[in-house]
Structure 1
Amino acid sequence: MELTSEQAIFSYADAYQKLYKRSPRELRVVDNEWVIVNGARMRVDELEYLTRQLEQEYTQTMSQKKNMVMRLLNWFKQ
């Protein structure tokens, strides 16, 4: 399923916001195939790949935080 430029930017901005707790610096559509993200011009499919990477990093970060909390809880139970 191919996303439009606007959909890809929205998905990227959402993933970026979740991971870094702030909005990306610069996001804009050049045309149907190209976007500008943080000053870099890239194709929409490259932005989709970058978004998936951010989502994976967010999932990994949340998993690490959850693991740390569980370890602390188990330590307090002792």
Structure 2
Amino acid sequence: MTSGDKYIVEFLDSIRLRIVRVTLFTSYQRRSYHEEVYLAIRGRGPDKACITMINRETNLLNCVREDIIPILF
């Protein structure tokens, strides 16, 4: 930021992060991941729930690396 005002920089970074959170982390796909885990737990399938959660976390980390970090930095 060229203004050199650290408060403006922090404020704009905060806004940018909120936009990323709202647009990327409230998607339909994200809700479906949670539903898959819930259904596995409800069906008393702890192994399936664990595998689904591990896959979800792996996908989330890849998303952060590939989609979010480039936007923020």
TM-score bracket, shorter-length normalisation: 0.3 to 0.5
